[in-house]
Chain A
Amino acid sequence: MSTELPVLKDKDYASDQDVRWCPGCGDYSILAQMKKVLSSIGVPRENLVFVSGIGCSSRFPYYMNTYGIHSIHGRAPAFATGLKCTRPELQIWVITGDGDGLSIGGNHLMHCIRRNMDLNIVLFNNRIYGLTKGQYSPTSPLGKVTKSTPMGVIDNPLHPLSIAIGCEGTFVARSIDVNIKHLGETLRRAAEHRGTSFVEVYQNCNVFNDGAWSYATDRDTKSDTIIELEHGKPLVFGKNRDKGIRLNGMDPEIVELGKGISEDDLLFHDEKAAEPSLAYLLSRMRHPEFPEPIGVFRAVDKPRYDEELNRQIDAARAKLGPGDLNRLFNTGDTWTVA
């Protein structure tokens, strides 16, 4: 009898359920990349758990042949937290969206990230409520006309990565649904990181918010609107890679290479920087003023809540011995009635 692990292919990660996202939805691409990444990282399927909340993205676990919980709106990080604390050997993915993660579930997302629970959170950002058919979300731009904002959105949008960095995120990254190679690589990095990995994926809702990210995906414009981050490399972009980002004081500015400006003058990316200032600055670069960075903004090693919790359990056992009920019952002053 062979003891070798069976070699699994992408399709082995598909459940027997029909995928019910709208044709053309960006979620299909993320699902495909996820299966591909999982088949390459060697975690047995039974040790994978997908946890989601409510929304289009949150149907994701039903389509994966792994363990999964389709939970309630916004709370997926909390379910994942309890599971990870008690079953640290499992690899847990939290699938959420801009409404689920940043609106109703903002509190849980914030605390999960600051605890650095060893989870991978993928936030599908389509800047709209899809499952409830077209209301604005916390990432919808100002002025956006939606079903619930006929005269335009008047609340300031959130930047998911700025939130994650503000919550002391140890792994913060961004990718795009149709940029499949980059997306796959980003998910792989997220899976490898120990601690909370937070990945924002620009995802197109072709029914309720089609083209929300077209500036970042159109062949004609993307080389000017997107800048790929690489650790230790200068921030260069443009079709001819002739433009870059330079720091002017504390502010980024776009400069043209040549004419006395070389790559050495540019901002160099450092995903391992101890302070999150650079990552935060990058998260604030928004279209159309700046090209928007994709890739890993920040990847640092910090203690993880689940490990620390279990370390305390081990330490208590080492010091006090394992639990003994009879000792427990006799805690404090006791007396005997003859």
Chain B
Amino acid sequence: MSISTEGLPATTKHVIKLDDATVRLVGDSGDGMQLLGTQLTNTSALAGNDVATFPDFPAEIRAPRGTRAGVSGFQVQFASEDIFTPGDRLDALVAMNPAALVTNLGDLDAGGILIVNEDSFEDKDLKLANLKSNPLEDGSLDKYHLFKVPMTALTRKAVEELGLSVKIADRCKNFFAMGLVYWLYGRDLTATLRFIESKFGNKPDIALANERALRAGWNYGETTEAFVSSFRVDPARLPPGNYNNVMGNESLAWGLITAAHLSGKELFLGSYPITPASDILHELSKYKNYGVRTFQAEDEIAAICSAIGAAFGGAMAITTSSGPGIALKGEAMGLAVMLELPLLIINVQRGGPSTGLPTKTEQSDLFQAIYGRNGECPLPVVAARSPADCFYVAQEAWRLAVRFMTPVMILSDGYIANGSEPWMIPDAESLPRIEIQHPPGVENGEQVHFRPYERNERLARPWALPGTPGLMHRVGGLEKEDGTGNVSYDPENHEHMVKTRARKVALIAQDVPPQAVTGPESGDLLVLSWGGTYGACTTAVERCRRAGLSVAHAHLRYLNPFPANLGEILGRYQKILIPELNMGQLRSIVRDTFLIDAIGLNKIKGKPFAVAEIVAKINALLKS
């Protein structure tokens, strides 16, 4: 018994055309909301829309059912134009229970579509959600376009012939909800039916039940009188090419594999599981045939140390983590700086300090990235701006690491890591190679006076590999004598080496592209941003410009060192606004570096910026 993957005919009801739609799906963390959201996103991307997503879930795997703490959500914006964010305000909200409804309702616009599972609004559900009255009856939802759908009952009915237990039948109700949302936005069922077939193929009962629930949801929209019309969002005018919808962690993993390939290296990852970085480990561990070796270490420290060991041996070495794990890696990062070996350290930031908010996003590890080690210990820091950008940042970081023989830190964040967007698939042959040279050995093993800390014009030392005859040398964490690499306590040498390591990192500013600016070349206001706020800042600045305001925007990829022209750019504007999901860390560094009194817009709520928040700040600054 296998399922049919045939889609359904188009709706016969009235269709309203939209430029974009923002939909949020919310329920219990066991209700399958992430699955629903991912499917809706992929189907929308396949239909040619531009998409941007924002999954939002609790740190607990299964928080108490029906409570506010256990609410899991997935927001997606799909559009017929270029978009950069998952949307501020919701056009539609699908809530599977009262707790999910009340914790998300505030983001739904008045007049917005609200679909609820009516069957989960019994007294016990209301009590679990800490509600005194039933919102379906107390008039509090009057300003929305409310659809009360008995999803549990309808799902049970749709699958009743299959003789499944009530518990199993009820698990299919996310597919019913999915079917209804697909009808509402004119989505083709085919891709999701294919997904059901491959995911549940070895459990035919479940596959069939999910198929029936999905179709029942679609048919419910088509046949119920309550739904008068559905919507359509046309394909976006994306540049021609082949596309894949990628999540940030996945795209980062692919970028790393690509960088290894382009540099003729095999990849070694030393990692310890941590939210929200673990998916990079999971993804990389699938690609063993690409020569990817993943090592799940006993702890964060062993993870980076194993990577440094692999780097000494000549591998493309990586360690992945999030803030708390990066804190544990501090001493080893210092060693990597001292050894002057190429290494990528990836921090997928989350809310801090300490354990903080593991599943929420924040940009509060910038200071940690730039300063968080003992001694004078500079290392380059680059930041990804979006899920698809992770692919390119990974390659750029590795290019810098091997050109300058230095560990490089890549900053991502939970928002980028779990979000997704269309990525134009490049032709692998067109990607620039990454050149690496290892000094050759000396035949017949004659010992030469090899100088492991002899430097080239970039101040990079040679990457001599064990196994090379005649180049035997020792590296270590004690201060090195320049040139020989021997242990040295000489005061002049120490100062020289500290300055040399700093100068080497500073030289990277000459090796990276100059900072680009969109908008006016000089004027009243420049928005300076970095990392995952790219989408919100870009959209906000565009919106303000369309409203006639003079606003420029510069988004930083290189945070240490800054691009060489940044100071000059900052000098051309009256005001500099730096929106950040922290207390103002980039702002501090910019003030310190350029003596410019930049203005902050700071949010520390574990959530990304809404575009409107940045627009409001820009408006306020230009008015004052």
Chain A interface residues toward B at CB < 8 A: 5-6, 15, 17, 44-47, 49-51, 54, 61-62, 64-72, 75, 77-87, 89-90, 107-108, 110-111, 309-310, 312-313, 315-317, 319-326, 328-338
When distances are taken between beta carbons in the complex, the residues of chain A under 8 Å from B306 are 78-79, 81-82, 85
When distances are taken between beta carbons in the complex, the residues of chain A under 8 Å from B311 are 82
Number of residues of chain B lying within 8 A (CB) of chain A: 74
| B312 located at the interface, meaning its Cβ lies under 8 Å from any Cβ of chain A in the complex | yes
7 pairs from A and B in contact (CB 8 Å cutoff): A50-B474, A61-B474, A77-B302, A81-B302, A85-B268, A86-B266, A90-B313
* Interchain CB contact under 8 A, B312 and A83: yes
User: CA A333 – CA B486 in complex, angstroms?
Assistant: 54
Q: Which of these, A62, A65, A107, A316, contacts B476 with CB under 8 Å?
A: A62
Other than A325-B428, A326-B428, give 10 A-B pairs with Cβ distance below 8 A: A46-B467, A51-B309, A69-B476, A81-B309, A82-B307, A85-B310, A107-B302, A310-B293, A325-B257, A328-B254
When distances are taken between beta carbons in the complex, the residues of chain B under 8 Å from A89 are 467
* Interchain CB contact under 8 A, A335 and B313: no
Tell me which of A66, A310, A333 has the highest count of chain B C-beta atoms within 10 A of its own C-beta: A333
User: CA A72 – CA B336 in complex, angstroms?
Assistant: 10
User: CA A289 – CA B298 in complex, angstroms?
Assistant: 37
* Interchain CB contact under 8 A, B472 and A323: no
| B441 located at the interface, meaning its Cβ lies under 8 Å from any Cβ of chain A in the complex | yes
User: CA A322 – CA B266 in complex, angstroms?
Assistant: 12
Least CB distance, A24 to chain B, in whole angstroms: 22
With A111-B302, A313-B291, A317-B289 known as contacts, the answer to whether A334 contacts B242 (CB < 8 A) is yes
B194 — nearest CB in chain A belongs to which residue? A333
* Interchain CB contact under 8 A, A47 and B298: no
User: CA A331 – CA B287 in complex, angstroms?
Assistant: 12
When distances are taken between beta carbons in the complex, the residues of chain A under 8 Å from B466 are 46-47, 49, 67, 83, 87, 90
* Interchain CB contact under 8 A, A70 and B313: no
* Interchain CB contact under 8 A, A333 and B305: no
Binary contact readout B250-288 vs A (1 if CB under 8 angstroms, 0 otherwise): 000010011001000010101000000000000000011
Least CB distance, A77 to chain B, in whole angstroms: 8
With A46-B441, A79-B309, A82-B309 known as contacts, the answer to whether A333 contacts B298 (CB < 8 A) is no
* Interchain CB contact under 8 A, B310 and A86: yes
User: CA A316 – CA B293 in complex, angstroms?
Assistant: 11
User: CA A31 – CA B331 in complex, angstroms?
Assistant: 28
User: CA A45 – CA B450 in complex, angstroms?
Assistant: 15
With A83-B313, A337-B239 known as contacts, the answer to whether A328 contacts B427 (CB < 8 A) is no
Tell me which of B291, B466, B469 has the highest count of chain A C-beta atoms within 10 A of its own C-beta: B466
User: CA A44 – CA B487 in complex, angstroms?
Assistant: 25
Least CB distance, A265 to chain B, in whole angstroms: 44
| B352 located at the interface, meaning its Cβ lies under 8 Å from any Cβ of chain A in the complex | no
When distances are taken between beta carbons in the complex, the residues of chain B under 8 Å from A316 are 288-289
* Interchain CB contact under 8 A, B331 and A72: yes
* Interchain CB contact under 8 A, B425 and A334: yes
When distances are taken between beta carbons in the complex, the residues of chain A under 8 Å from B125 are none
User: CA A68 – CA B308 in complex, angstroms?
Assistant: 13
When distances are taken between beta carbons in the complex, the residues of chain A under 8 Å from B317 are 82
Binary contact readout B230-243 vs A (1 if CB under 8 angstroms, 0 otherwise): 00000100111111
* Interchain CB contact under 8 A, A337 and B293: no
Q: Could you say which of B42-50, B396-404, B527-535 contacts chain A?
A: B42-50
Q: Which of these, A84, A313, A337, contacts B241 with CB under 8 Å?
A: A337
B469 — nearest CB in chain A belongs to which residue? A46
Q: Which of these, B257, B305, B470, contacts A82 with CB under 8 Å?
A: B305
User: CA A75 – CA B245 in complex, angstroms?
Assistant: 40
| B157 located at the interface, meaning its Cβ lies under 8 Å from any Cβ of chain A in the complex | no
